[in-house]
Structure 1
Amino acid sequence: MKSQWECFLQNLGVWEGSFTNFSPQGTLLNDTPSRLSLEGLNNNQTVRLTLSRPERDDMIREFSSVGGGLLFFEKGSFSEGLIQLGPFSEFGAELAFVHENCRLRLVQLFDQTGNLSKLTLIREHLAGTQTAERPPFQINDLLGEWQGQAVTIYRDLRTDTYSTTLKLQLDDPGRLIQSTSFGGRTITSTATIKGSIILFDQDPQKQVQVLLLPDGASATSPLKVQLRQPLFLEVGWLIQPNLRQRMIRSYNEKGEWVSLTLVTEEKV
């Protein structure tokens, strides 16, 4: 098992791409080119991050350790965000995948009233490599049965590994029926589909939205985060038509961040 620092080092390199901002309804607001360098110094004892975007000062950070609200998986995928949901404060997290020469990162932000306020999709590839543009993401790309393996890392770095099954189908009226199975449990829920928005609206007090975004990305989040209720943020990436990854950042009813899960699943 790699240390968290060794997992972080999987991200070293120069990453070229863009930051694309979306409204909570999935409307594209703006798109900004980016270049992010992660450079190992002192025999990789320190990592210097330099983010360059047009018409902005470079952002520079140096790391000699990782922790706090940041956790990594073996191949470099990670999530960083707040460890506590608080009253009258902004809330959010970044969930990020690393696959071969590409990274896909997504930031979900909520305002001081708890409402989903902005999404930023960051698509990057290693400088000097090619990347293929994926076709527009449609609900039909997700339909069917997906079988996978999940790894959950807890705050104290304990890990669990288990199998998962995800079944997605449409009923006659056109609602989405989702069944998720893991650890001997099966959870079934239904959603309304409107364009690129999938809305799980069975409980008006706990509506959860999935936004289908460019390049096979999807963002799952409550429309409103509420105190004293458990919640999760999820990002998916359809890497190939039959290969998908999902990352889930989970919070308990006290608003405390408790775990991070990475699911790698294939369509059967």
Structure 2
Amino acid sequence: MASQWESLLQNLGEWQGSFTRFSPQGTLLEDVKSVVSLSGLNNNQTIRQIVSRQGQADLVLEYSSVARSTLFFANGAFSQGSIQLAPFTEFGAELGLIHEHRRLRLVQLFDKNSQLDKITLIREHLAGTEPVERPTLQIEDLLGEWQGEAVTIYPDLRSPDKYSTNLKLQLDDKGRLIQSLSFGERTITSSGTINGSKINFDQNQIQVLLLPNGASATSPLQLQLRQPLFLEVGWLIQPHVRQRMIRSYNNKGEWVSLTLVTEEKI
């Protein structure tokens, strides 16, 4: 199994793209061109990261280990963010997917009142490759049955878990979205109201935003203490291939796992 550092090295290169900021309701607020370069120093023992955003000073970071708040999958997909939910503090995470010469990253931030505050979608391609931009995700893209393979990794770096998933999405006669997710022995069914580019799942105050480039952002609108929670990014890479990443927290607010699902419509 690749080490966390080796998995991080999958992200080396110059990534050109943009940071697109949305309100919690999905309104586009700003779109800023960006270049993020990750280069290896001292035989890839150190990484220098330079983040250049139009109209802002460059951010330069150097590091030679992976932070406790960050986990990588073998293909370079990763998440970094809060390791503990606590009252009156900001909370959030970045979820980053990678496919061939493209990356899709999502940052979800909550304010000190535990309300969803900022959503940033980062779409990138490696310098020298053609950018491939998929249309904004539509509900019709998601309907049907998806068969997936999931890998769950853990902050304590114990062995990953691998299992199959099955996701069914359909509309009922009132136009509500019915979702049935099966993994292992468990099946979870939920229903949501579709409102333009938003889906609201009532029973748990979860919102899904449909975003450009086939992306989706799933999160609570309001964090609840002593309740488990998760943040999720989805990416429709091709009409029948989707990736999802889920960062999960337990009822004590502790970050407990990170899951990557690759699923195909059947």
The TM-score bracket by the shorter chain reads: over 0.9
Structure 1 residues 238-257: aligned runs within 5 Å: 238-257=236-255
Q: Percent identity?
A: 72
Matched with 2:221 is 223
Alignment RMSD (CA, Å): 0.6
Give the secondary-structure state (helix, strand or coil) at the position aligned to 1:215.
Answer: coil
Structure 1 residues 179-198: aligned runs within 5 Å: 179-198=180-199
**How far does residue 197 in structure 1 lie from its aligned partner after superposition?**
0.2
Q: Distance in 2 between matches of 1:62 and 1:99?
A: 25
Query: How many residues align structurally?
Result: 265
Stretches of 4+ aligned residues off by more than 4 angstroms:
none
Matched with 2:123 is 123
Q: Distance in 1 between matches of 2:175 and 2:260?
A: 29
User: TM-score, normalization: structure 1?
Assistant: 0.98
**How far does residue 63 in structure 1 lie from its aligned partner after superposition?**
1.3
| Structure 1 alignment gaps of length 5 or more | none
**Which letter does structure 2 place at the counterpart of 1:132?**
V
Once the two structures are superposed, residues 61-97 of structure 1 have per-residue CA deviations (whole angstroms, 9 ceiling, x without a partner) of 1110103110000100000001000110110000000
Matched with 2:112 is 112
Q: Distance in 2 between matches of 1:173 and 1:70?
A: 42
**Which letter does structure 2 place at the counterpart of 1:58?**
D
**How far does residue 31 in structure 1 lie from its aligned partner after superposition?**
0.3
Once the two structures are superposed, residues 159-214 of structure 1 have per-residue CA deviations (whole angstroms, 9 ceiling, x without a partner) of 1000000000000000000000001111100000011000000x2xx300000000
Q: 1:232 aligns with which of 226, 230, 238?
A: 230
Q: Distance in 2 between matches of 1:185 and 1:194?
A: 29
Structure 1 residues 83-102: aligned runs within 5 Å: 83-102=83-102
Matched with 1:62 is 62
**Which letter does structure 2 place at the counterpart of 1:95?**
L
Q: Distance in 1 between matches of 2:136 and 2:38?
A: 30
Is the deviation greater in 120-129 or in 133-142? Answer: 133-142
Q: Distance in 2 between matches of 1:119 and 1:186?
A: 29
Q: Distance in 2 between matches of 1:27 and 1:13?
A: 31
Q: Distance in 1 between matches of 2:232 and 2:136?
A: 20
**Which letter does structure 2 place at the counterpart of 1:139?**
I
Pair 1:212-2:210 in alignment: yes
Give the secondary-structure state (helix, strand or coil) at the position aligned to 1:30.
Answer: strand
**Which letter does structure 1 place at the counterpart of 2:126?**
L
Give the secondary-structure state (helix, strand or coil) at the position aligned to 2:242.
Answer: strand
Matched with 2:42 is 42
**How far does residue 45 in structure 1 lie from its aligned partner after superposition?**
0.3
Is the deviation greater in 178-187 or in 54-63? Answer: 54-63
Q: Distance in 2 between matches of 1:220 and 1:57?
A: 31
8 Å Cα contact 2:136/2:215 also seen in 1:
no
**Which letter does structure 2 place at the counterpart of 1:213?**
L
**How far does residue 132 in structure 1 lie from its aligned partner after superposition?**
2.1
User: TM-score, normalization: structure 2?
Assistant: 0.99
| Structure 2 alignment gaps of length 5 or more | none
